[in-house]
Structure 1
Amino acid sequence: MRAAVGIVGYALAIAVGFLVSPLLALVFFLLLPLFYSLTSSGLYELGRLRHPRR
């Protein structure tokens, strides 16, 4: 799941950079590594952090 998010996210950032704004694409490129650092244990762990009683 994380790999799919990365592929789609980077492809979206490239498209946004070409079609809309390179600055907005830069924001995408900076947020994607942040996503990976926060979900290094996987998306399941991120859900557990939001809802600790699971």
Structure 2
Amino acid sequence: MKKEKLVTSWEKRGKEKGREEGKKEIAKQMLEKGYKINEIIEITGLTKEEVSEQES
């Protein structure tokens, strides 16, 4: 039973990380299209720092 919980925990962390990476990729595309940082923050839920990291 502990093994099942551990796998579920890893799966959950993996899915969360995948969602975060997806949001960052969307933010990068939005920056390229000329969206304002505040709009990207509102839409993606990322922080200003996370959005700014995508500008490079």
Report the TM range for the smaller structure's normalisation. 0.3 to 0.5
With normalisation by structure 1, the TM-score equals 0.43
Structure-2-length-normalised TM-score: 0.42
